[in-house]
Amino acid sequence: MHKHLELTHVRNERKRNHDSAGIADIHEHTSLRTFLTLDRTTFENVQPTPKRQKKQHADATGIALVKLKPKKRATRASILCLPDELLLIILECLGRDVRTLCSLARTCHRIYRLCTLDLIWRPVTAGLYRPTTRRHVKCYGQAPQNDLLSFLRNLACSDYCFRCGVKATSKTELGAMGEKVLEVLSRRYCKGCQSTEFINKTDAKERFLVTEKQLGAAKYVPKPWYGKQSYLYLESTIEQLSLERWGSERALKEAKSERKPRNKTPRDFWHKFYDPFFYEYFDDHRYILPPYFGPPATSAQTNAITVHHPAANVTVSKTTDTAGVITFGNVSVNISIGAPNPTSGVSHHNHQAVVGSGSGSGPGSSSGPAGAQGYVAVNGGGAYFSLSVNVAGGW
């Protein structure tokens, strides 16, 4: 690593030329370019500013509102007595709290210069890239090596994803919720991170057991959802609220185990209908099953062959007595050629033509209760030809 990039080196440098070095050049020598780095020229060419005329703010009575007290010489110990290297040690001990660093930087000019050192912000940035807890990895990829402050600033505003640091280059990459998220949380999440970082209200209540009252104070992203509005919360926020309520993760887990699971339809509701044993119940109790639960209809003869043409919905059955049954959907035509059937010979002899009324009982006819049937039989001596048309009604 470069020598200048070590904070220890900065401290030693400060110690060595304590008197000669001005404060301004600490950035010059050691810091990488940051957006907060003061411009060199402004300090080199600066003239000692003339003392401003101190204004006496006086009201009508003439009493000075602002007292001009003479500058005191160190009545109290000040943090500014400490040398830079000691201040840097303190800054290093501060850790990764960004808020503290910023508020410390606002206290005075000299500390501000130290606080804006790029090296001070390195652990902060590195902390973003390292898993702080086992569950959350805040950012992916490699942490930036320089220009950390501008990186952090960009991260905080819109064009980088706060979690993964991916820069949005187009408006579509902002995602549908991008604008709203930016507005509410003042940071941006890319599409992928939005799906993992956000949690809706129902899930928040169910998984983290937070109350409605707690959620009222939390920031949320309103999301249109089927004409209604759904509330998206940051998962980390919800986790924090849950910790506030339950104290620890363990307590939350215990509380969750004590609660009854929500009464809702099991996902495998339909599975029982696929279970063959489910229907045994109906058999045992002599329920009358609707016909489609029954066995598929087969012709009376065991040695019958049925050919089905699926495209035309035509079924041709051949039996031993060479009868052909042609079925078109609800219409079936029964053709039988051969020797007279002794069982049905009586009805064939009469040259009957019966139309309507379900009295017909042709061989292999499968007419339903509301079916219509036409029946023609020609008896020519020894040979026998019969044609029957069945129109099966609905079930």
Partner 1 sequence: MSDPANITLVTMDGTTFTVPSAYLHRSKLVQDWLRSEGDKQAMEVKHVTPFVLQGVLNFCEIHAEDTSEPLADPADPTKPFEADPRDDAFRGMPDDQLLQFTMAADILQIPELVRLTAQEMASRIDGKSPDQIRAMFNPDDLAEEDVDSDNEMGEVGEEGAISK
Side chain identity at residue 353, one-letter code: A
Q: Which of 92, 159, 206, 321 binds partner 1 (CB under 8 A)?
A: 92
Mark 55-74 with x for binding to partner 1 (rule: CB under 8 A) and - for no binding: ----------------xx-x
Q: Residue 155: exposed, middle, or buried by beta-carbon count in 10 A (0-12, 13-18, 19+)?
A: buried
According to DSSP, the residues that pair with 376 across neighbouring strands are 353, 387
Q: Which of 55, 67, 69, 76 binds partner 1 (CB under 8 A)?
A: 76
What's the start-to-end Cα distance of the chain, in Å? 86
Q: Which of 88, 139, 148, 199 binds partner 1 (CB under 8 A)?
A: 88
Nearer CB in complex with partner 1: 108/337:
108
Mark 140-169 with x for binding to partner 1 (rule: CB under 8 A) and - for no binding: ---------x--xx-xx-------------
Indicate whether 26 belongs to the interface with partner 1 (CB under 8 A): no
According to DSSP, the residues that pair with 199 across neighbouring strands are 233
Nearer CB in complex with partner 1: 110/180:
110
Nearer CB in complex with partner 1: 90/383:
90
Q: Where are the beta strands (DSSP E) in 250-382?
A: 305-309, 314-318, 323-328, 331-338, 353-355, 372-380
DSSP letter string, 39-52: PHHHHHSPPPPPPP
Q: How many residues bind partner 1 (CB under 8 A)?
A: 51
Nearer CB in complex with partner 1: 197/384:
197
DSSP letter string, 61-96: T--BSS--PPPPS-SS--GGGS-HHHHHHHHHHHTT
Q: Which of 43, 112, 129, 231 binds partner 1 (CB under 8 A)?
A: 112
Helix (H) or strand (E) holding 220: strand 220-225
Q: Which residues bind partner 1 (CB under 8 A)?
A: 7-8, 35-36, 49, 51-52, 71-72, 74, 76-83, 86, 88-95, 97-100, 102-112, 115-116, 123, 149, 152-153, 155-156, 186
